[in-house]
Amino acid sequence: MKENNVSRRDFVKTLGVVGVGSMVGASQTLAQSNAPAATAAPASVKPVKIPTRTFGRTGVPVSMLALGGIFDIESNQFVLKQALDWGVTYWDTAAGYNGGKSEGGIGMYLEKNPQTRRDIFLVTKDDGGGLTPALNQSLERLKTDYIDMYFLHGLDNTTKLNDEMKAWVEKAKADKKIRFFGFSTHKNMENCLQEAAKLGWIDGIMLKYDFALMHTDAMKAAMDAATKAGIGLTAMKTQNKSPIATETEADLKLGGHFIQRGFTQQQAKIKAVWENPQIASLCSQMPSLTVIQSNIAAALDKTSLTAADHAALREYAEATRSRHCAGCAQFCEAAPGHQAPVGDVMRALMYHRSYGDPELARTVFRQLPETARRGLASFDYAAAERACPHGLPIAQWMREAGELFA
Ligand code: SF4
């Protein structure tokens, strides 16, 4: 990792406040006033730039924090400017985010600020259908001639990564429409990484990865295989959010532990992921300056998590196991009589209830096969529930999803 010599202390000083708790309060004021934070910096303070890490064999240095674009970027252009000013140059979007307003918002920014394009590591993803028209549409919306990293969106196996796909990738690279290629994955991540590592032509993967998943033997082996193959890795969904949104004793306990340490629990969760150097960048949804500032403060802070911190995270993961879906659909979706894409429905529920983004939840839900959507409430989930290592009440949550998204 390339370190720069700006610390969290300098960053906090830049904002003119004294601690993380105070910083969040000040950030809200900044966000509400829509004032660029940099204007408040004393002249003696160096400009904040977040550290970079090398993205696998591509050799490209990317900001260790990536701007996740699942929000209305068209209406929040100031977030892009401030992200760039602070060195958050890895921008992630997808054709389907906010009905195209995410890509459109980035395009709006690049049209007005074309000189910034070379500084940005721009990532987008297809949205089903034909790849060439999807790529051309993304280029048009993003107002750019090339995508730095083009991901197939949401793979749960690697069957699409065949010779035909490889030829398409080679042509898109030769045409200079994309620089690098890979995929994102929320389900069966470990198997996807292992299979991709054997192919030799996958440049990058964005995967669901968090403080709970990162310690399993299967995940560690998959990360090792992908890293050995030179695949650049981006972590997403690092907060381990749930398809239900209730706060429990465990949340309060974890929050209390980290406040004593000077962090929020959200900051601790991303610091845990960053402690794995195999992760080149961590993608976080950052629709406001408040969230960006909190994440940057965590990135600049050089305090390592202690054994007690890791123990607190593990204890939390264990205590909340029965309300978190780990994306291990190889269990529930392989159960006898399986009919529903349980893992995808869980993700839609999480977007709706924990991310507070009903539009994205509906987009994910609408992409499921119609037979699965229609039958959601009536399928038999007994075998899937027996197979689920987290003991999730799959039948109940599938029924709730069916009603919620009807
Ligand atoms: S419902 Fe259970 S088995 Fe299925 S993906 Fe979620 S945690 Fe894994």
DSSP string, 136-176: HHHHHHHT-S-EEEEEES--SSSTT-SHHHHHHHHHHHHTT
Last residue of a domain, one of 291, 313, 335: 313
Same-domain check for residues 276 and 239: yes
Query: Has this prediction a pTM greater than 0.85?
Result: yes
Residue 318 lies in a domain: no
pLDDT per residue of the chain (406 residues) written in tens, 0 to 9: 444 444 555 555 544 433 343 333 333 322 233 333 333 344 445 567 899 999 999 999 999 999 998 888 998 899 999 999 999 999 999 998 888 889 999 999 999 999 999 999 999 999 877 899 999 999 999 999 999 999 999 999 999 999 999 999 999 999 999 999 999 999 999 999 999 999 999 999 999 999 999 999 999 999 999 999 999 999 999 998 889 877 889 999 999 999 999 989 999 999 999 999 999 999 998 888 899 999 999 999 989 999 999 999 999 999 999 999 999 999 999 998 888 999 999 999 999 998 888 888 988 898 899 999 999 988 999 999 999 999 999 999 999 999 999 8
Same-domain check for residues 106 and 228: yes
Please state, in angstroms and rounded to a whole number, the distance separating the CA atoms of residues 178 and 186.
Answer: 23
Separation of CA 188 and ligand 1 centre (Å): 10
Same-domain check for residues 229 and 350: no
Find out whether the beta carbon of 335 lies less than 6 Å from any atom of ligand 1.
no
Which run of H or of E encompasses 107?
helix 101-112
Residue 3 lies in a domain: no
| 26: helix, strand or coil | helix
Separation of CA 349 and ligand 1 centre (Å): 13
Residue 283 lies in a domain: yes
Query: How many distinct structural domains can be found in the chain?
Result: 2
Find out whether the beta carbon of 213 lies less than 6 Å from any atom of ligand 1.
no
Same-domain check for residues 251 and 370: no
Determine which residue's CA is closest to atom 7 belonging to ligand 1: 325
What tokens appear for 223 in the block? Answer: 């990360």
Please state, in angstroms and rounded to a whole number, the distance separating the CA atoms of residues 376 and 378.
Answer: 6
Last residue of a domain, one of 313, 333, 353: 313
CB 27 within 8 A of CB 15: yes
Find out whether the beta carbon of 343 lies less than 6 Å from any atom of ligand 1.
yes
Domain of 91, CATH number, reads 3.20.20.100
- Domain residues for 177? 8-313
Please state, in angstroms and rounded to a whole number, the distance separating the CA atoms of residues 232 and 230.
Answer: 6
Which run of H or of E encompasses 34?
none
pLDDT at position 28? 32
Residue 2 lies in a domain: no
**For residues 2-40, b (16+ Cβ closer than 10 Å) or e, as one string?**
eeeebbbebbbbbbebeebeebbebbeebbeeeeebeee
Find out whether the beta carbon of 189 lies less than 6 Å from any atom of ligand 1.
no
Same-domain check for residues 136 and 27: yes
CB atoms within 10 A of CB 131: 17
Find out whether the beta carbon of 212 lies less than 6 Å from any atom of ligand 1.
no
Separation of CA 232 and ligand 1 centre (Å): 26
